[in-house]
Amino acid sequence: MTPVEKKQKIEIQKFAGEDGQYKRRASVFRDFISSKPGSQFLAEANRYHLYVSYACPWATRCLIVRSLKGLSSIISLSVVHWHMDSEGWRFPSDDDKCKDATIDHIYGFKRIKQLYFKANENYDGRFTVPVLWDKKLHTIVNNESSEIIRMLNSEFNHLIDDEHKKKLNLYPTELQKQIDELNSWVYDNINNGVYKTGFATKQEIYENEVLNVFKYLDKAELILKENFTKGETYLIGNQLTEADVRLFVTIIRFDPVYVQHFKCNIGMIRHDFPNIHKWMRLLFWTNASFKETTNFDHIKFHYTKSHKYINPHGITPLGPIPNILPLDHS
């Protein structure tokens, strides 16, 4: 084990700092795929590979956009085992099988961390998913989901056959200001808010964070309530945007995991947020890109069986039953 690997082994399961507060580290690989001729990372069919976990909300953003844009046959995929241990994410093996996970289709690696060290032998960050990998240059293009979804949204259009999917634009120029504004508070207070709540190791910090999550859920509830009154079904009017994708991945995990595992239990989406609940079910039940990329087993098993310091015996609660209610449930 190299000194860097040793350091990673010690720190990988330490989420909160000494002050009891969780601070997410910025992603390190930040290159961009482009459709412009001559680009280092040119948008080409079959050149790029996505490494994901179905459990991870950030990786699932990429899975949803890959599906919405019809890129499944253009960008290949490997899916890790839901269990994350002291060395990070791993792929299933013959004696460690996992339904819906895959081997590493590119190198046959056992762990995601091997990709990080292949890309940079001195890497000293966390071994996170998603990873957007370049099969030609054998390196990581980008490991920041907010940027990966932008590339998938705009740079592969010339390779997409389906006219509807080719035209779909989740970040149209005229809505960018509104989308950016939504993204900024949704990210800090809801997407990352549940992690700051769940990983807090001091009572006072936990209480501040959990109250804050619910304050911003109220804000999202109000927006969707007004939109539904006008006959609109998305966060921004009648148009599906990346803001919906980015909020959805947290909301779909909320009742099954965050309520109990991250102690976000001041309310539940299904009981206390009727408009968010309706919006979430509409996306899930009427759009296959949302339903087919949601894997409740991976989601529930990952959090409850990987975070030993939160749930030492790794017992996965059975409820809520069902994980998501039907569309016509009143």
Ligand X SMILES: N[C@@H](CCC(=O)N[C@@H](CS)C(=O)NCC(=O)O)C(=O)O
Query: Applying CB under 6 A, which residues contact ligand X?
Result: 12, 27, 56, 58, 88, 126-130, 143-146
Q: Residue holding tokens 């993204």?
A: 183
Q: List 236's β-bridge partners, or say none.
A: 239
Please tell me whether residue 3 adopts helix, strand or coil conformation.
helix
Spatial separation of the C-alpha atoms in residues 188 and 179, rounded to whole Å? 14
Q: How far is the CB of 124 from ligand X (least distance, A)?
A: 12
- Is position 25 annotated in a ligand binding site? no
| Cα dist from 246 to 83, 107, 308, 316, whole Å | 23, 30, 27, 26
- Is position 316 annotated in a ligand binding site? no
Per the residue annotation, which of 107, 187, 195, 234 is the catalytic one? 195
Q: How far is the CB of 21 from ligand X (least distance, A)?
A: 16
Q: How far is the CB of 328 from ligand X (least distance, A)?
A: 32
Q: Are 43 and 155 in contact (CB under 8 A)?
A: yes
Per the residue annotation, which of 54, 56, 116, 303 is the catalytic one? 56
Nearer to ligand X, 196 or 281 (CB): 196
Please tell me whether residue 268 adopts helix, strand or coil conformation.
coil
Active site residue 195: yes
Nearer to ligand X, 184 or 238 (CB): 184
Active site residue 56: yes
**Residue 258's Cα: distance from chain center in Å?**
14
- Is position 284 annotated in a ligand binding site? no
Q: Are 224 and 278 in contact (CB under 8 A)?
A: yes
Structure tokens at 317: 């609660």
Q: How far is the CB of 27 from ligand X (least distance, A)?
A: 5
Nearer to ligand X, 146 or 154 (CB): 146
State the binding site for glutathione: 89, 126-129, 144-145
State the binding site: 89, 126-129, 144-145
Q: Which are the catalytic amino acids?
A: 56, 195
